[in-house]
Amino acid sequence: LPADPKIFHGRESELVDILDHFSQGTPRIAILGAGGMGKTSLASTVLHHDDITIKYQENRFFVACETAASKVELAGLVGAHLGMKPGQDLTRAVLYRLSEGPPTLLVLDNLETVWEPFESRKEIEEFLSLL
């Protein structure tokens, strides 16, 4: 996990909203905004919050997605964070681990890098819908 931000200012209301969503079940939350708006800092603060640490324990993962160029590569990045050996397409293994394993919190940082190209968007959206 990235370090808990030492300075966190201006996104407190978003933090409260996100934590509220977590208290209501298993949320899927998109943190959107222009570069430099504090999205990564907000996500890191959530990952380190006491309530989240208690709920997810060691099953909190921060996946930097900027190197992925396809669904297979994105699944590989997620799988690596989940302790899977690289190799073939890990999509099914990742989905199985997330559905059958302990509650897991994934932060997919810079996901727009792999989602924005039109040619990969559909397969990325399908993968995300199954998480």
SS3 assignment for 54-92: HHHCCCEEEEECCCCCCHHHHHHHHHHHCCCCCCCCCHH
Domain extent at residue 16: 1-56
pLDDT surpassing 80 at residue 10: no
pLDDT for 77: 97
d(CA 62, CA 44): 8
pTM score above 0.85: yes
Are 1 and 25 members of one domain? yes
The pLDDT tens digits for 65-102 are: 999 999 999 999 999 999 999 888 999 999 999 999 99
| Per-residue confidence band for 9, with pLDDT thresholds at 50, 70 and 90 | confident
Domain stops at, among 14, 36, 56:
56
pLDDT for 86: 85
Q: Which two tokens stand for residue 102?
A: 């302990």
Query: What is the tally of structural domains in the chain?
Result: 2
Are 32 and 63 members of one domain? no
Share of the chain above pLDDT 90, in %: 73
Residue among 110, 105, 103, 81 at smallest CA distance from 93: 81
Are 105 and 115 members of one domain? yes
Are 51 and 66 members of one domain? no
